[in-house]
Structure 1
């Protein structure tokens, strides 16, 4: 998470959506950078509203004085990115997916298997609070032409975004039935994703109830 109050926005770091890349380019312009621990770096919208927003208001920055911004990834690709990430050699013991197929990983995620090395949250919940979208603007992570321009304009300087945290390239195979189950499971996420397809961003998202 990074705050850019002098530039009128706060960036929430949804996991597996280029947050390390963004931090590398944007950190010099930020008034606050929270890069660890993971629970603070990836503070969700509801946590931000309950914990940090009141502090910012006390400092003279009420909620409507800045945009709350985040990135978003195609939902199945987001889950696949977790699977690849946890196959790395430095994965925590018992949390590696090196010997686990994406089919098994996805199935465990849907079933909510606490013993599996799957993420505990979901993107739609990350951006929501009280059942409604709590961020103002969402960017599609695969549209750097859109978000790169927006961030550059906001900080008033051309930015270069390198690529980091690359993971393994195993084929992520899914059966037709499991893919259909994932599409159903991710209905709220695909509600967001559809809104990003035409322009690569969703402005005015706050207050929307997702499917």
Structure 2
């Protein structure tokens, strides 16, 4: 589904147009800030429909290493951003439709541009969280999002109810944020990232980054979620496992 919206004039890098029309203002080592053009089309994946509301990590491009970190929403990207942004030549901070651009959209729009400018292809990496734990992270995020709004849909809502909302059709807006497999895979469901690291094995990811960047990395604790009850009944756990089967299979396939 293509969004009819357009990104704000705060776009940091113009990459989503036709390749021959891409701005020549992006150069390695430049600060990725400033306004380049109004009316930039947003990414085409429907997974981005709620990403404009997410506060989280940025897409990071390491020019010398030909490495790109794709920021999977609610999968530890904020800590990666905090630790690595000073080392990246490019950090896309806004709009959220670009900083959380999916693997499919990156490979369609960004990758050809980067290859054309550098003469080499870039390696993509991303994190993936255990799918039900990922949903728990979304629940905690929604609880603290606009929590001063007296009409906030999350007021008094348990994780059990939230999980059922996520599985419902139609899905209410507060639980409508797609799946990790939509973010990480192509239209056929095949992984579209060179290497996906499991969030529960983040030490392996850090070791990989240290080798690639030749820099010791310590991940800070950021966006620490509130302590809330995230228990599920056996029935809802079983239903959720079935509903998230594609994501769970992808997660289990990772090393």
Normalising TM by the smaller chain, what interval?
0.7 to 0.9
Q: Is the 8 A contact 2:111 2:122 kept in 1?
A: no
Q: CA deviation at 1:177?
A: 1.1
Q: SS of the counterpart of 2:174?
A: coil
Question: Which of 135, 139, 156 is equivalent to 2:193?
Answer: 135
Matched, 1:149 2:207: yes
Q: CA deviation at 1:116?
A: 4.0
Match of 2:144 in 1: 88
Q: CA deviation at 1:40?
A: 1.3
Q: Is the 8 A contact 1:5 1:61 kept in 2?
A: no
Q: CA deviation at 1:95?
A: 5.3
Q: Which consecutive residues of structure 2, in runs of 5 or more, have no partner in the other structure?
A: 1-58
Q: SS of the counterpart of 1:149?
A: helix
Match of 1:22 in 2: 80
Q: SS of the counterpart of 1:2?
A: strand
Q: CA deviation at 1:142?
A: 1.7
Instruction: Between the two structures, name the one with larger relative contact order (CA 8 Å, sep ≥ 6).
Output: 1
Per the alignment, do residues 24 and 149 of structure 1 end up closer, same or farther by CA in structure 2, a change over 3 Å counting? same
Q: Is the 8 A contact 2:166 2:172 kept in 1?
A: no
Task: Give the 5 Å matches for 1:1-211.
Answer: 1-62=59-120, 65-88=121-144, 90-91=146-147, 93=149, 97-131=154-188, 132-196=190-254, 201=255
Q: SS of the counterpart of 1:7?
A: coil
Q: Is the 8 A contact 1:84 1:97 kept in 2?
A: no
Q: Is the 8 A contact 1:105 1:116 kept in 2?
A: no
Counterpart CA distance in 2 for 1:143 and 1:96 is: 34
Which structure's residues are more often strand, by fraction? Answer: 1
Q: Is the 8 A contact 1:79 1:106 kept in 2?
A: yes
Count of aligned pairs? 195
Q: CA deviation at 1:155?
A: 0.6
Q: Is the 8 A contact 1:25 1:160 kept in 2?
A: yes
Q: CA deviation at 1:37?
A: 2.2
Counterpart CA distance in 1 for 2:223 and 2:239 is: 28
RMSD: 1.8
Q: Is the 8 A contact 2:61 2:67 kept in 1?
A: yes
Q: CA deviation at 1:67?
A: 1.5
- TM, length-normalised to structure 1: 0.85
Q: SS of the counterpart of 1:70?
A: strand
Q: Is the 8 A contact 2:146 2:152 kept in 1?
A: no
Q: Which consecutive residues of structure 1, in runs of 5 or more, have no partner in the other structure?
A: 202-211
